[in-house]
Amino acid sequence: MSICSPNYLHDAHIRFALRIGADAICEKPLVINPWNLDALAELERETGRHVYTVLQLRLHPSIIELKRRVEGAPEKIHSIDLSYITSRGRWYAVSWKGDQEKSGGIAINIGVHFFDMLQWVFGAVRELRVHLLDAKRAAGTLRLERAIVRWFLSIDRGDLPESALSQGKSTFRSLTMGGQEIEFSDGFGDLHTAVYRDILSGRGFGIEDARPSIELVHAIRTAVPVRTACDSLHPLALRVIERNAR
């Protein structure tokens, strides 16, 4: 069994693993471009081996409970705000992570697990709008089957809210539904162990599980940002736009 990283080598490493008769476990993202998934699926069929990926948020107890709540009211459209800021130094821009051809950009690097989780809980994408997209941040709105999501991703310390700065934190993570916080900050340490246990037990997440999030982050990466009314913007995105306009 082969385990592979970093992003731009995932496809090549997975192919190598399958061709030598091994299954492959691949961290996020499985691949950068969605069309590579079809080729990997074909190689799975040819070799009889399997590709597994790590979608650990699907095993988080708080996210599982959230999914149950949403499925209990299937007609309701929820209002979601997702914010994730994780500060990165100058090294980021000059490393392979700062090269979109190698990393897939910020939506993949720090967002792919969240986009997988959102679709797993709230259903498929119906509409995507991107409001901000640069080397340090991305923001927009998603209309899913059972939610309207305002999302904001950033690696810029300057985007941290005052509540995080006052506590000396370099990372801010928030998921709210209807204005109420969904707490899922704890419990991350055991999630990878749970994923690997599932794989070794003959279960695990595969290519088709990963496809919706890979297609979405690729759409974000290739989108042209659009202007929109202020009330449609994520509050942190609005703050960035107003700051840049001064």
Which CATH class for the 2-55+190-206 domain?
Answer: alpha beta
Question: Which class for 234: exposed (0-12), middle (13-18), buried (19 or more C-beta within 10 A)?
Answer: buried
Q: What ranges do the domains of the chain cover? A: 2-55+190-206, 61-185+214-245
Digit-by-digit pLDDT tens for the chain (246 residues) are 544 456 778 999 999 999 999 999 998 899 999 999 999 999 999 999 999 999 999 999 999 999 999 999 989 999 999 999 999 888 888 888 888 888 888 999 999 999 999 999 999 999 999 999 999 999 999 999 999 999 999 999 999 988 888 888 888 999 999 999 998 766 566 888 899 999 999 899 999 999 999 999 999 999 999 877 677 889 998 888 888 776
Q: Helix or strand or coil: residue 15?
A: helix
pLDDT at 187: 59
At position 179, the amino acid (one-letter code) is G
Q: For residue 211, what is the enclosing H or E element?
A: helix 207-221
Sequence-ordered list of residues with C-beta below 8 angstroms from that of 233, at least 6 positions apart, any chain? 131, 139, 150, 241
Nearest Cα residue to 173 out of 108, 106, 81? 81
Q: Give dist(CA 3, CA 26) in Å, integer.
A: 6
- For the chain, strand residue ranges (E) read 2-4, 24-26, 51-53, 78-86, 125-133, 137-144, 147-154, 171-177, 180-181
Asked if CATH classification 3.40.50.12140 holds for the domain at 61-185+214-245, the reply, yes or no, is: no
